[in-house]
Amino acid sequence: MKSQMGDRAKFWAGGTDMVLLWQRGEIDLDHCIDLRHLGELDYISVEDDSISIGAMCSLSALERSADEHHLLATLSEITKLMCTPQTRTLATVGGNMCNASPAADLSPAFVAMDAEAIILGDAGERRVSMFEFFEGVNKTALRGNELLKEISIPLPVAGNIAAGYRRIDRTVVDIALVNASSALTVDASGKITKATVALGAVAPVIVRSEVAAVPLVGRSLDALDDAALAASGEAAAGDAKPISDVRASADYRRDMVKVMVRRSLADCIEQLKG
């Protein structure tokens, strides 16, 4: 359908952003292809080695999935920060990702969890890491007729993973001034084997801070003190490239990155220690 209609057609998921763009005349289309008819893209499934979230899964369905896995519980808490209950029933996970706002709440969490986008195209499926999926403000790795099918979150074969998310906002129903998500993977002995820190609203894309992992990886969970978390936050702030705008100054955002990273890591540790 999309290939027949070309650029004058656009996929329509929940439509909660698209209706507004349409009404403001910021998009001009002949056709919108309503994906709500694709019920098969509305799912959440937990396997031994991965969690799969269908692109048409609504934010409210994600919110209700908290009991299925502790990573879903983290994502569920994030959805509660997003829009309102009666808009979360419409808005979809895939639509939120394809809108590619650098301040989106779920995006840094998916990047921190090392999730992959599964993309459907004319030639079949391909996988792109969520980090590479975001190419700019409202720009994704989707090309031509391609469609986001699923977000796939890998789970460690041995050991455990936990993720945390923190944001600074002005009020509820607001977008993040700064946000950060981190994920820690530990092996059976409690040693940190992997740490991923992702930052939102501090660049046109989600920033993945490799240096923020340095103070964490290789240490045992019990040895992670406040100084280690602060060092990670400090390192992450060096990777942030925030702008000053009407909502916050660049300096404030950079300072808050340190705090958000530190707190999101503390959340991970708390979950891993149970």
Binding site for another protein (CB under 8 A): 12, 14-16, 19-20, 22-23, 32, 34, 36, 60, 83-87, 89-90, 172-173
Contact between residue 92 and residue 105 where contact means Cβ atoms under 8 Å apart:
no
Contact between residue 102 and residue 206 where contact means Cβ atoms under 8 Å apart:
yes
Find tokens 């359908």 and name the residue.
1
Which residue's CB is nearer to another protein, number 81 or number 141? 81
- Number of other residues whose CB lies within 10 A of the CB of residue 233: 26
Please, what is the minimum distance in Å from the beta carbon of residue 42 to another protein? 13
Which residue's CB is nearer to another protein, number 147 or number 224? 147
Please, what is the minimum distance in Å from the beta carbon of residue 97 to another protein? 18
The sign of the CA dihedral 180, 79, 42, 137 is negative
Structure tokens belonging to residue 228: 């280690």
Find tokens 């909660």 and name the residue.
16
Which residue's CB is nearer to another protein, number 89 or number 129? 89
Please, what is the minimum distance in Å from the beta carbon of residue 112 to another protein? 26
Which residue's CB is nearer to another protein, number 167 or number 208? 167
Say how far apart CA 180 and CA 265 lie, in whole Å.
10
Please, what is the minimum distance in Å from the beta carbon of residue 73 to another protein? 17
Q: Is 62 helix (H, G, I), strand (E, B) or coil?
A: helix
Which residue's CB is nearer to another protein, number 90 or number 259? 90
Please, what is the minimum distance in Å from the beta carbon of residue 101 to another protein? 15
Contact between residue 140 and residue 107 where contact means Cβ atoms under 8 Å apart:
no
Please, what is the minimum distance in Å from the beta carbon of residue 88 to another protein? 8
Contact between residue 265 and residue 164 where contact means Cβ atoms under 8 Å apart:
yes
Say how far apart CA 85 and CA 89 lie, in whole Å.
7
Which residue's CB is nearer to another protein, number 21 or number 155? 21
Closest to 164 in 3D by CA, of 62, 71, 66? 71
